[in-house]
Amino acid sequence: MQKMILIPIFRIICALMTNPLSIDNYQRPRLDVPDNACKVLLHSCCAPCSGEVIEAIQASGVEQTVFFYNPNIHPIKEYEIRKDENKRFCDKLNIPFIDADYDMDNWFERVKGLENEPERGERCTVCFDMRFERTALFAHENNFSVISSSLGISRWKDMNQINGCGERAADRYEDVTYWTYNWRKMGGAPRMVELSKKENFYQQEYCGCVYSLRDTNHWRMQHNRPRIKRGVKFYGLEQQEIDIKNVE
């Protein structure tokens, strides 16, 4: 009798524990694109951040093109890894992927004098400005009336800072609007991680620029943690690494 009672209760508890905002359970709403535009140019910083955004836009039946312009990423090997991961996911979904220039010298010139600014400080504003200005220019020249970015989905970023830079870049052209949608809401940020694990995306451990790498390693050394090893960590493979170590 006790077993007959426990089994239904266990099933009820499991049902209550099911996350309605997870990838498998979430019923994606139809997004309202500014000006009822039928296509969007999405600036992407990396595969983990853009994956959830790409799927959200695709679920609304909106045509999109991913624009990868990130000359801040250092070194070039790290840049290529992040770009290739992003392109791999876009190819899987048959989404056009634009590989823009890696004009690193221009980036260093833009942030000159801001080398010691903190994360989310003036250097980041200048960096976002540069990347969004190029995105808006491409949109203007290629008939995209709406641009947006995956940068804002990360909890490490300042949403107001990013939106301000995006709107400022779009204001350069009368025919371009920056879409300030909050990609974090309704479980967007957790789904970003969930999708990254599902796709085994490369898991970078610093924002991207040489100064971010410097500051992150400095923090790690102060807290007795090892320095960053680039190109070796991937979402969803942590448990596999633990299992291998246990076998050995």
- Does 48 fall in a domain? yes
pLDDT (tens digit per residue) in 104-145: 999 999 999 999 999 999 999 999 999 999 999 999 999 999
29 Rama sector, left if φ>0, alpha if ψ -120 to 50, beta otherwise: beta
- Does 123 fall in a domain? yes
- Does 13 fall in a domain? no
CATH of the domain at 161: 3.40.50.620
- Does 231 fall in a domain? yes
Give me the half-sphere count of Cα atoms (radius 13 Å) on the Cβ side of residue 155: 8
Print the domain residue range for 147: 32-247
pLDDT band (50, 70, 90) for residue 219: very high
- Does 218 fall in a domain? yes
- Does 222 fall in a domain? yes
pTM above 0.85, yes or no: yes
* Number of domain units in the chain: 1
- Does 176 fall in a domain? yes
pLDDT (tens digit per residue) in 177-200: 999 999 998 888 889 999 999 999
Task: Report DSSP letters for the chain, one per residue.
Answer: -HHHHHHHHHHHHHHHHS-TTSTTT--PPPP--GGG-SEEEEE-S-HHHHHHHHHHHHHTT-EEEEEE--TT--SHHHHHHHHHHHHHHHHHTT--EEE----HHHHHHHTTT-TTPPTTSHHHHHHHHHHHHHHHHHHHHTT--EEEESGGGSTTS-HHHHHHHHHHHHTTSTT-EE----TTTTTHHHHHHHHHHHHT-B--SS-SSHHHHHHHHHHHHHTT-PPP-TT--BTT-HHHHHHHHHH-
Beta strand pairing call for 177-178 and 97-99: unpaired
- Does 6 fall in a domain? no
Q: Is the pLDDT of residue 176 over 70?
A: yes
Q: Is the pLDDT of residue 1 over 90?
A: no
